[in-house]
Structure 1
Amino acid sequence: MSKLLITGATGFLGSSLCRHLIASGHQLAALVRPNSNLKKFQGLNIQLIELAEYHELAAKVSQLNLDGVIHTACSYGRKGESVQEVVEANYLLGVALLQGCLRAGKPVVFLNTGTVLQSSVGIYAITKNQFSELGMQLCAGSQAPNVQFIDIALQHMFGPGDDASKFTTHVIRSCLANVNDLPLTEGTQRRDFIYIDDVVHGYSTLLDQAGSLNKAERVELGSGYAPTLREFVEMVHQLSNSKTKLEFGAVPMRAGDTPICVANTQRMQQLGWSARYSLQQGITKTIQMENKA
């Protein structure tokens, strides 16, 4: 058993990880905001750490006697957040966590949820990439002798109960609701969609196999398969028996959008992980769970 701190614990990925890690026998602490909805924690034995000013947070983290940190908290900037709020969530929070780990002095594994997006996409990608770069450089050198930094280049995860602002969730729920029209781009971009259970399994594998990884290493986590967005939408439409009219080409492509994002899964396979769900299986399970919600 190890003691872990998880951020973003009330979110889609974070809450899924909490349930899995507790079931696996880990002792868990969760960083939460004062106004966080804690319903997902009911019945779970989790130590709640309230988010404080960053210098206070670093001190709190240093006193937790942690074996690992799983950093999933972020801000996409889709809900009217200011530039400062996005920078704080995606950069400064991570810095405070790293500082706390450094102060603790004992060996700590830091799993950071990075992004596959290029910085040119926007402020979310810029701030996420800047923290990933800081963590990699700091922990690869002598300034962080006790911290192992694993930067997870996470592809496009999806699953039941995900954030409504995400493309995958929007498409699935629109098709299930049989909305009249669904405006879309041409959908020629290729994306690596990975089901949430495979993501959780991937994080667990990285935690268990940390001794086989470099002191600072970036690891790609995805299915290794990249259909077009159009193919994804059409599969959702078919599997949900939707009557929604798909309007491909009604929305312009996002400036600076990457034509293809797909994970190289070789490193994860070396660690004993492979995706257990095909795209069709993941979509089918998501539709089933969304219908029950």
Structure 2
Amino acid sequence: MAKIFLTGATGFVGSHLAEKLLQQGHELRVLLRTTSNLRWIADLNLESFYGSLDNPQSLLSGLKDIDVVIHCAALTKALKNEDYYKVNFEGTKKLVDLIINNNLPVKRFVFISSQAAAGPASSFEPVTEEDEPHPVSEYGKSKLLAEKYILEQKGKLPFTIIRPPAVYGPRDTDVLQFFQTVKRGIIPKWQNRDKYASFVYVKDLVEGIALAAEHEKARDKIYFIADAQPYSWDDLARVVIDFFKTKAIHVPIPLGAVKIIAAVSERWSKITKQPSIINRQKVAELLPDFWICSPKKIQKELGFATQTSLENGVKQTLEWYVEHKWI
């Protein structure tokens, strides 16, 4: 079993990944801040290490005996565009440089990127790892910059880059808002058009990450981890409607209305100092009709495929939300 250093362990994906790694018998050390909310990992048998990517030297003692580093920490919502680059690019660069410059014997650096770094598809033909990236948001661009820097270190640091698409599951707060809206009887239809996306249930995602982190064939590779087929947001809505035994109607949301909502939301965010999920960057990601990626590469090379159907994954997620009174 490996000794693993994990960043972002208190977040949605990171906390599920921490659980999976411990279940597999790995020794886990997680990077925390003194202000970190430990609610999802408080009961886990792991080692806490306090430090900050802003001060990479503070991490040196925590990395000296580590086999695998999994960098899951990221900024997905920001008050200022430059914050995406400060955290997602500069933070990653500092961590990579620290490992290389100090000749730390890390056997694998796993970077949890995003499909946003690759950009959307132009049709039902999914994007692949070999396609030229074309991110449409500052978040995606910051993730792609981090990917490119890691790729430039080939031969100096063994790496694996994972690009998840839309992730859903217990503890998520983003797709939750869509579920809440549908439960209230409204199915938003952006630009009055069907939108399609690749999805992955969080427990399937962390299973794939854990496999790729140690698999020799995953060395110096990029992988999408997603369900084999894409879905429309209406497909998710139908599961919600069936689960709650309710009814819902489509409500067209024209582009102009979305932009107004985003502008108002951004102004409110400046007042509250809290970034919102609806902003102009998110609008840029809402415009494409096909956020579809192909999982064929990881299936072919590592033999990995997701096991949770959309219906079962969404139902398990909704059961968790109900139990925790989130919906």
State TM-score, norm by structure 2.
Answer: 0.78
Show the counterpart of 2:138.
123
Equivalence for 1:242: 246
Report if the CA contact (8 A) 2:51-2:59 is conserved: no
State the Cα distance separating 1:173 from its structure 2 match. Answer: 2.8
Counterpart amino acid of residue 170 in structure 1: Q
Task: Give the whole-Å Cα distance in 2 for the aligned partners of 1:5 and 1:68.
Answer: 6
Preserved CA contact (<8 Å) 1:240 1:287: no
Mapped to 2, the partners of 1:8 and 1:273 lie a distance apart of 24
Shift of 1:151: 0.9
> Quick check: 1:282 aligned with 2:292?
no
Q: How does 1:259-274 map to 2 (within 5 A)?
A: 259-270=289-300, 271-274=302-305
Q: Identify unmatched segments of 5+ residues in structure 2.
A: 120-133, 259-282
SS in structure 1 at match of 2:47:
strand
Cα pair 1:205 1:272 within 8 Å, conserved = no
Asked if structure 1 preserves the Cα contact closer than 8 Å seen for 2:135 and 2:141, the reply is yes
Amino acid at match of 1:137: E
- Aligned residue pairs total 277
2:109 partner letter: F
Partner of 2:221: 217
Alignment partner of 2:162: what SS? strand
What SS does the aligned partner of 2:144 have? helix
- Equivalent residues of 2:57, 2:98 under 8 A apart: no
Determine if contact 1:34/1:50 at 8 Å carries over to the other structure.
Answer: yes
Task: Tell me whether 1:34 sits opposite 2:34 in the alignment.
Answer: yes
Q: Write the distance in 2 (CA, Å) between the matches of 1:290 and 1:104.
A: 45
Q: 1:127-166 maps to which residues of 2 (within 5 A)?
A: 127-139=142-154, 142=155, 144=156, 147-163=157-173, 166=174
CA–CA distance in 2 between the matches of 1:156 and 1:180? 23
Choose between structure 1 and 2 for higher RCO, CA contacts under 8 A separated by at least 6 residues: 2
RMSD: 2.2
Q: 1:3 to 1:207 in 2, by over 3 A?
A: same
Deviations 1:147-176 (A, max 9, x none): 21111111111012202xx2x21122334x
Q: Which consecutive unaligned segments of at least 5 residues does structure 1 have?
A: none
Question: Equivalents in 1 of 2:35, 2:253: separation in Å?
Answer: 38
Summarize the Cα distance change of 1:92–1:255 in structure 2 as closer, same or farther, 3 Å threshold.
closer
